[in-house]
Structure 1
């Protein structure tokens, strides 16, 4: 039986988180993952990223895999129909960015943001930055209690989507902007449904997407609450978990 004979017709799109999922700990895509992603593409399955990264540090991997598919970046705040084909950007109000910046400074925590122009951290932040439009703002701290307090305050505003890609950060976008909302829009572009999607991830910012997809696959290295809501668990990002999931759930091969 050939690989072609074993493709499961129900899955038409693979939505991949990058850090902790597709990327190894040294930020590479393994040869095995490349092989099975290419096999999926060759057999008509779309492959896309659904990542908290912005174009500034995701486009390298987009090019490395030679993908022409849509992409969901910045946890859904930026959607591309394909390389060089922007569909939308959803910006935080400038006054909100000022408030977020003020909180980070007052609490003595590190921060960063993604604008069209750049990924900018606190070391490079200047007054001019407040004149830019920001899609995502991040606050980080090794004080988990402090982060919880900041999150509670931000949630009280009622206008923000707050998630995290690691226990030591908060990732902040406009309310309703998530990886799920982004992938839903990609499904509209492609004329498919969420039931046609396999999504893979490891962190809090993957949860809504994994729950909404036809199959949500958590990485073995993922956070415990992510694994608890997933429909399946694959091997870790250092053990070709993405490749193994594609073999099993797309091509029905153990």
Structure 2
């Protein structure tokens, strides 16, 4: 029986290749993990609008942690909980993005909405996540510093040129902890794999935190293991070696 009972996988830059595909090898080892009794879940910044098809493609009958922990599903079609950003914060975030000339998007219950489709009606919706993107690194850093002063929101990133915003206290780690409660296991029985800073808290908290070879340098520093890149079947190799293999780390 594998030492880790839960495998939490990021999607973009991790399970998915750069062209947003799942390789045959990755698919094979994910299914091998399931066959060995491991619960395999997503822990992704994506919402159900874009993660749902991948969930179906892999035919995983398991919980899912979506939109960086703001939405948790017990299983396919079984929503468990949602955590919304305050509407006043959404208005403020929208103002800051517009002022900075940043691209932006958001995940609501109804849709994934980008800047070009944003209307005043959007302010009456409940938003799980709001994101900003700017190719000017100085500008995105100024935005990041400004947002950090806002006490009611949680900010992270999945790339140096973006910012991802959730309700304060919500992250992939909190989502996976809730799934552990549901399954009756503890975080030291979790193996987590990711590539960027929105994975950082989860990678640190998991029994085994694995960073992708293509991952952020800061994430690699705090991870227990660095596997190959998403273009080199890094997830498949991590499952083979560390989840189903003989590797049994002792964390300090």
Runs of 4 or more off by more than 2 Å in structure 1?
A: none
User: Take 2:154 and 2:87, find their aligned partners in 1: how far apart are those partners?
Assistant: 16
Aligned partner (choices 30, 55, 58) of residue 65 of structure 1: 58
How many Å separate the matches in 1 of 2:159 and 2:144? 14
1:191 corresponds to: 184
Q: Which residue matches 1:54?
A: 47
Which of 179, 189, 194 is the matching residue for 2:172? 179
Contact 1:114–1:135 (Cα < 8 Å) also in 2: yes
Q: Does residue 213 of the first structure (1) align with residue 213 of the second (2)? A: no
- Please state whether the residue corresponding to 1:151 is helix, strand or coil: helix
Please report the TM-score for the alignment, with normalisation by the length of structure 2. 0.96
Measured after TM superposition, the shift of residue 149 of structure 1 is: 1.1
Alignment length, in residue pairs?
A: 247
- Counterpart of 1:157 in 2: which secondary structure? coil
Identify unmatched segments of 5+ residues in structure 2: 248-252
Contact 1:247 1:253 in 2 (8 A): no
Instruction: Determine if the alignment matches structure 1 residue 222 to structure 2 residue 215.
Output: yes
**SS of equivalent to 1:92:** coil
CA-CA distance at 1:206 after TM superposition: 0.4
Choose 150-159 or 214-223, whichever is displaced more. 150-159
Q: Which residue of 1 aligns with 2:6?
A: 13
CA distance in 1, matches of 2:23, 2:179: 26
CA distance in 2, matches of 1:40, 1:23: 17
Name the counterpart of 1:138.
131
Does residue 147 in structure 1 map to residue 140 in structure 2?
A: yes
